[in-house]
Structure 1
Amino acid sequence: MFSVVSVVVVSLACVTVVTNASAGDAGKMSFFITSVGPGNGVDLGGLEGADKHCQKLGSSAGAGDRAWRAYLSAQGKDFADQNVVNARDRIGSDPWYNAKGVLIANDVEELHSPNNYLNKETALDENCQMVNGRTEKPNTHDILTGSRLDGTLFGPRFFTDMTCGDWTQSGEGAVMLGHHDRVGPNDNAWTKSWNSAHLSKRCSPEVLKKSGGDGLFYCFAEK
């Protein structure tokens, strides 16, 4: 009974904050971290599968009227193919707010600058819950992105694949990860990056969990 009451109280608190938010259309959630991954490590079913997962979770939270996109970059068909996908180009250009109506960033440029508002307290999941950080157990602060600091793909002509086969592998390979809590193992700025902190050791769910992740990723409302 206590757990049920707690969930209701948290939900009502979240609704209250959203309703009373004063910044723009802050009552319309347009950003969240997935509360769960699809369940197969970095194999998300490609970009299409990742987008569907964002849409599913957004709908479950009452925001299914929005076009949700996963913040993920993807490679071309081979190393010579420069028709790559940059995460920053997938998410629209509107201001983004979390489930509490708190501003994350006003636009794409601010999102990829030191002036964004993405951190442990603001990077909530679709249910208005905080996602565990480096100092908590289990640590799930490693967020899938496959992206550089500016939200673009590591070009295939100069870098190895950092997307676990364009989000289709759950074994060998590696993926670029960000730290939503902005906490790293040292004081170097890149270790605290929300979208490009370090590579995973493999693509499997077991390895992700050992290093501080759970196959979670960012979802933004494109429109």
Structure 2
Amino acid sequence: MKIHKPLLALAAISGVALTMVTLQAQDDEPPEMGVFITSVGLGDGGNLGGLEGADAHCQQLAANAGLGHRSWHAYLSTQGPDAVNARDRIGEGPWANANGLVMATSVDNLHFDNSNFNWTFMLDENGNQFASRIDGDPDFTEHDVLTGTQIDGTAFTDGSDMTCSNWTSNDEGAPGCSTALRSIKAL
């Protein structure tokens, strides 16, 4: 029996207002990429080094893909007295994938059913699509996205740890919030 561990993929979203993609493509060029799912994790489970470590990982992957001139933030929430909502870390939008497809036009559009955030359009920083159980991938459990974030982009407040101890623990006893990439609407 093969046991699969979920891959901790981060959604990285560019939050720099001056370099955000625009819906009006100039000279028929697609808008610049503003969102991706990380192609590789840090290799330490849910221990991402907190928000700072997760952001640095996203920034490095973006730089390797030629997008280091933008500021990238992991789409993660934290919990507790100083909780951070993922929706408050990502700028105002719009966001496009590596193919220039606008994924969402605003923060509110991002968090509800009128965005293009689903497994079909979510690409990594290199423009590669993730496999899904929808397309027959037998290892679909390796493509979950952990964000510690509710559908509206806010942190969980019920007292249960949904963030692997605010992204500092790889302990199997530290739960996270897992959402299958095939059905994700809010990263």
- Equivalent position of 2:103 in the other structure: 104
What's the secondary structure of 1:56's corresponding residue?
helix
> Once the two structures are superposed, what CA deviation does each residue of 1:83-139 show, in whole Å capped at 9, x if it has no partner?
210011111002000000011000100001110011222100001000121231332
Distance (Å, rounded) in 1 between the aligned partners of 2:111 and 2:23:
21
Partner Cα separation in structure 2 for residue 49 and residue 179 of structure 1 = 23
From 49, 52, 55, the counterpart of 1:51: 55
Equivalence for 1:143: 145
C-alpha distance in 2 between matches for 1:109 and 1:115:
9
Of 31, 40, 44, 1:40 maps to 44
Deviation at 1:179, TM superposition (A): 2.3
4+ residue runs of structure 1 moved beyond 6 angstroms? none
1:181: Cα distance to partner?
1.6
Distance 1:23 1:101 in 2: 10
In the other structure, the counterpart of 1:153 is 155
The residue number in structure 1 matching 2:177 is 176
Q: SS state of the match for residue 51, structure 1?
A: helix
Q: How far did residue 24 of structure 1 move? A: 2.7
In the alignment, which residue of structure 2 is the partner of 1:116? Answer: 115
Q: Secondary structure at the match of 1:143?
A: strand
Gap regions ≥5 residues in structure 1: 1-21, 183-192, 196-217, 219-223
Q: Distance between the aligned counterparts of 1:154 and 1:179, measured in 2? A: 18
Q: What residue in structure 2 maps to residue 17 of structure 1?
A: none
Tell me, what secondary structure is at the counterpart of 1:153? coil
Distance of 1:105 and 1:180 partners within structure 2: 16
Structure 2: gaps spanning 5 or more residues: 1-21
Q: What secondary structure is seen at the aligned counterpart in 2 of 1:55?
A: helix
Conserved 8 A contact 2:59-2:68:
yes
1:3 corresponds to which residue? none
Cα deviation for residue 180 of structure 1 reads 2.2
Mapped pair 1:73 → 2:77: yes
1:4 aligns with none
**Distance in 2 separating the partners of 1:39 and 1:49:** 12
Letter in structure 2 aligned against 1:117:
N
Cα RMSD between the aligned structures? 1.6
Contact 1:124–1:131 at 8 Å: present in 2 too? yes
How many angstroms apart in 1 are the aligned matches of 2:150 and 2:105? 20
- The alignment of Structure 1 onto Structure 2 pairs a total of residues equal to 158
State the Cα distance separating 1:23 from its structure 2 match: 4.4
Cα distance in 1 for residues equivalent to 2:37 and 2:24: 21
1:27 aligns with: 31
TM-score when scaled to structure 2? 0.79
- Structure 1: how far apart are the matches of 2:40 and 2:34? 18
Letter in 1 for 2:151: L
